[in-house]
Amino acid sequence: MISVVKKETNPYVTLICTHCEFFKEDDIELECAAFKVLKEMLNKGRITQEEIKDAFK
């Protein structure tokens, strides 16, 4: 029996990338410079998830 497993979605990708006009579901493994910077800022506590969400409003 073959089971179909959905790809796990990285929470950073969901928070940051899905709002980008260049984001494509099939390029989920690629990381742009903006993603890397925002991810690092989140990890270091220099920016919050709420601040990122507010920027997309």
Indicate the average pLDDT of the chain.
84
Mean pLDDT within 29-54: 93
pLDDT at 5 over 50: no
pLDDT-based confidence at residue 8 (cuts at 50, 70, 90): low
53 token code pair: 């969400």
Find, among 30, 8, 41, 22, the residue nearest to 52 by Cα: 41
Quote the CA–CA distance of 35 and 13 in Å, as a whole number.
8
CB 20 within 8 A of CB 43: no
